[in-house]
């Protein structure tokens, strides 16, 4: 967007603000804000939050307290009282959460027969949202939208490539080699982690270089970062962290851009505020205008991502940042039994760095929490498998005395570390129990990444990371020597046969680019799969699963066919790049085609709920992790393991099983363990020692 157009937009916003305010006052006067029949489904605390529409608002929402419902009804109320939908921004952390919120808002608006969107004279200029509706997105998608439209101010082209974690790791590894370091001696992941953490702290490369000083690893990271940035620039690419860092930098250094967005989004909502890092915190501050119409929703007791930069202080000091802020507590839980909530309340109240709240429910008291003491991880896994098998075979009796079937999807097994799943999987296989491991990313499969790379490269021929990925995939006789010449810009030195192969490859990319301009997203994907030779290669090599995966990508692309081209394919590439563990279409495939007990880490379970939950490995130095004894960890971070256990407990709706082993094999060595300190925090009248289904109790004898 040109500077003149930007200022025209600002003037138009200014000219329509008074009109919208007048519209709001007229609607309030004629209908009466007190007439809130559409809010009748909210409890008193939720209603208080929904009606608080002006100024800063902190909604402390306990687990299962209906925070998404509260935010969506608040958005509905804003629109009902005359606020333009286009003036509302809601930011979440995952595409799945954004999609759910967007669908809920749309459903509420569509279900209100008396509702009409307020008319106003705003132009149809599009900043990522389409039509007259609130902008609901993740932080990263918001960054993509802003940078695509205004990133030229920082020299960022509209069709920039988004590096995924694999791309970034490969670039860092190359940088290490170029600098004379051995990637086997210096882990590229560690260097990438340092760079990522600093970007998340809103620290520039130059600032990091200045402070790294004589620190050995820091000085290497500073050198690599410089090379890494050069590779990104050459590829016209940004990594995940850049999407936020560059957005914050743009808003910080260009007042006219910042003012545009402050005028555009006059009501800002942020979900899971406890999970924000410093750069996200900064973006929120920069987007909020002078009226400070900011509503943040979160729960400090569920802040479990400190290891990746989340800062619990952001939510704890919200009222310091915004002195006029109002705080609303959502404490009524709609998910769990009172027994489970009482246990969770007792566990979390030991933490000091928190805002106090006490979850309660109108649900039944429920069964006591079952605790099983196993001999080792095999015994623990067998107990879980036997119990699950019995539950699936016998079902349960509901409150009316009727027998109810228990489905595998109703059950989840949670663990602190991924290695714990092996023993559980073995036991489930022996008991013929269907299960699925949450976390396999559809978009990380090689064949899927290849299709995406073809399209990315067609739109951005400078993306060397995509050249390396697909120039010989499927095999077309282009070897490493030829590839090196291409990367070095020395194609004229190649023999004629090699030159012809490169010309053919470039012709394919040109054809794909043309398709993105004229064809629907699903047709573009089909074209790539066929014309690249992938389909034939998979058929010839009998790679049926890989063929099914790329065809599944066509199915996924169908939802972008309604966009005007090339916007549809651009949107697909964006969401593919930003997909998280819980956003992949694998999850839906698992639910629809492969129902099973869900096995996952506690971190992966956040935001989910299940009828029956097993929390395993409750031993000192496993859960809580031994790292909590590290003196370098801040007091706030040292409480994170307890918050993680709190999250685990509150995933359960009806029944909760806790287990620990007296002996556990870690890295091939059997180690005697102690029960987790968390178990002692649960009142004895809430728990019941569980006997094994087999009737045989394992005992540990120390010789």
What is the distance between the alpha carbons of residues 679 and 264, in angstroms, rounded to a whole number?
50
Please pick, among 274, 302, 616, 650, the residue that the annotation labels catalytic. Answer: 302
Contacts of 241 (CB under 8 A, 6+ apart): 195, 196, 199, 200, 279
SS3 180: coil
Query: String of b and e for 269-279 (b: at least 16 CB within 10 Å)?
Result: bbbbbbbbbbb
Please pick, among 67, 199, 526, 546, the residue that the annotation labels catalytic. Answer: 67
Please pick, among 19, 31, 68, 389, the residue that the annotation labels catalytic. Answer: 68
Cα–Cα nearest to 387, from 699, 679, 656: 656
Strands 57-61 and 326-330: parallel
Contacts of 596 (CB under 8 A, 6+ apart): 408, 409, 433, 434, 435, 436, 590
- Bridge-partner residues for 235, per DSSP? none
- Count CB-CB contacts under 10 A for residue 559: 14
User: How many residues comprise the chain?
Assistant: 703
Please pick, among 164, 167, 174, 271, the residue that the annotation labels catalytic. Answer: 271
Q: Is the peptide bond before 566 cis (omega within 30 degrees of 0)?
A: yes
Q: Check: CB of residue 316 under 8 Å from CB of residue 355.
A: yes
Q: Check: CB of residue 53 under 8 Å from CB of residue 269.
A: no
Please pick, among 272, 377, 574, 590, the residue that the annotation labels catalytic. Answer: 272
Active site residue 544: no
Contacts of 127 (CB under 8 A, 6+ apart): 135, 145, 146, 149, 261, 264
SS3 563: coil
SS3 415: strand
Contacts of 187 (CB under 8 A, 6+ apart): none
Strands 669-672 and 663-666: antiparallel
Please pick, among 96, 642, 651, 654, the residue that the annotation labels catalytic. Answer: 651
Query: String of b and e for 473-511 (b: at least 16 CB within 10 Å)?
Result: bbeeebeeebeebbeeeeeeebeeebeebbeebeebbee
Q: Check: CB of residue 557 under 8 Å from CB of residue 522.
A: yes
Classify burial at 642, counting beta carbons within 10 Å of its beta carbon; exposed 0-12, middle 13-18, buried 19 or more: buried
SS3 528: helix
Active site residue 16: no
Query: String of b and e for 290-317 (b: at least 16 CB within 10 Å)?
Result: eebbbbbbbbbbbbbbbeebbbbbbbbe
Looking at residue 434, the DSSP 8-state letter turns out to be: -
Active site residue 651: yes
Active site residue 565: no
User: Per-residue DSSP letters for 625-676?
Assistant: BGGGG-TTS-HHHHTHHHHHHHHHHTTEEEEEEEEEESEEEETTEEEE--B-
User: Euclidean distance between the first and final Cα of the chain, in Å?
Assistant: 76
Catalytic (active-site) positions:
67-68, 271-272, 302, 651
């Amino acid at each position: 967007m040109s500077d003149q157009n930007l200022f025209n937009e600002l003037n138009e916003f200014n000219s329509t603000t008074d009109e919208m305010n007048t519209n709001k006052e007229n609607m309030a006067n004629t209908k009466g804000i007190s007439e809130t029949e559409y809010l009748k489904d909210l409890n008193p605390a939720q209603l208080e939050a929904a009606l608080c529409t002006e100024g800063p608002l902190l909604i402390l929402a306990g687990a299962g307290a209906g925070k998404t419902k509260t935010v969506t009804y608040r958005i509905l109320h804003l629109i009902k009282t005359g606020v333009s939908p286009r003036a509302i921004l809601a930011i979440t952390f995952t595409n799945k959460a954004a999609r759910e919120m967007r669908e809920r808002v749309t459903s509420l608006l569509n279900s209100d027969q008396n509702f009409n969107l307020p008319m106003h004279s705003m132009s149809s200029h599009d900043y990522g949202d389409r039509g007259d509706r609130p902008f609901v997105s993740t932080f990263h998608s918001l960054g993509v939208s802003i940078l695509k439209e205004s990133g030229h101010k920082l020299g960022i082209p509209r069709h920039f490539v988004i590096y995924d974690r694999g791309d970034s790791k490969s670039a860092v590894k190359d940088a290490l080699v170029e600098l004379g370091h051995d990637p086997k001696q210096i882990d590229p992941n560690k260097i990438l982690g340092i760079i990522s953490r600093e970007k998340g702290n809103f620290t520039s490369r130059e600032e990091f270089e200045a402070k790294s000083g004589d620190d050995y690893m820091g000085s290497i990271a500073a050198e690599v970062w410089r090379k890494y940035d050069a590779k990104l620039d050459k590829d016209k690419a940004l990594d995940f962290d850049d999407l936020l860092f560059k957005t914050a930098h743009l808003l910080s250094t260009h007042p006219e851009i910042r003012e545009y967005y402050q005028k555009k989004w006059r009501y800002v909502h942020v979900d899971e505020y406890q999970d924000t890092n410093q750069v996200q915190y900064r973006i929120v501050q920069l987007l909020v205008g002078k009226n400070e119409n900011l509503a943040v929703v979160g729960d400090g007791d569920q802040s479990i991502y400190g290891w990746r930069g989340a800062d619990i202080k952001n939510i704890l000091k919200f009222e310091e940042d915004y002195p006029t802020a109002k705080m609303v507590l959502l404490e009524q839980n709609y998910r769990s039994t009172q027994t489970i909530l009482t246990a969770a309340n007792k566990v979390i109240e030991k933490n000091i760095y928190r805002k106090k709240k006490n979850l309660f429910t109108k649900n039944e008291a429920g069964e006591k929490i079952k605790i099983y003491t196993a001999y080792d991880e095999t015994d623990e896994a067998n107990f879980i498998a036997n119990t699950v098998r019995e539950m699936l075979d016998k079902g349960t009796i509901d409150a009316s005395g009727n027998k109810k079937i228990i489905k595998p999807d109703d059950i989840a097994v949670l663990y602190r570390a991924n290695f714990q799943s092996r023993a559980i999987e073995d036991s489930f296989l022996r008991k013929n129990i269907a299960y699925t491991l949450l976390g396999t990313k559809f978009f990380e499969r090689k064949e899927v990444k290849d299709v995406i790379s073809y399209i990315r490269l067609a739109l951005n021929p400078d993306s060397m990371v995509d050249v390396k990925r697909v120039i010989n995939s499927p095999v077309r006789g282009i070897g490493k020597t030829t590839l090196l010449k291409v990367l070095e810009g020395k194609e004229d030195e190649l023999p004629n046969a090699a030159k012809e192969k490169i010309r053919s490859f470039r012709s394919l990319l040109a054809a794909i680019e043309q398709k993105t301009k004229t064809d629907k997203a699903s047709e573009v994907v089909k074209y790539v799969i066929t014309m690249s030779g992938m389909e034939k290669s998979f058929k010839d090599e009998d790679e049926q699963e890989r063929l099914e995966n790329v065809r599944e990508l066509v199915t996924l692309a169908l939802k972008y066919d309604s966009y005007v081209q090339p916007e549809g394919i651009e949107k697909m590439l964006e969401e593919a790049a930003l997909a998280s563990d819980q956003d992949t279409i694998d999850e839906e495939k698992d639910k629809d085609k492969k129902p099973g007990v869900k096995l996952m880490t506690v971190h992966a379970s956040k935001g989910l709920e299940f009828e029956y939950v097993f929390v395993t490995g409750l031993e000192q130095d496993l859960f809580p992790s031994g790292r909590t004894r590290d003196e370098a960890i801040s007091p706030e971070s040292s409480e994170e393991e307890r918050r993680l256990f709190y999250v685990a407990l509150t995933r359960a709706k009806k029944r909760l099983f806790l287990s620990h082993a007296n002996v556990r094999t870690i890295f091939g060595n059997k180690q005697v363990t102690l029960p987790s300190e968390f178990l002692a925090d649960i009142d004895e009248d809430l728990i019941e020692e569980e006997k094994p289904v087999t009737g045989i109790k394992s005992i540990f004898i120390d010789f």
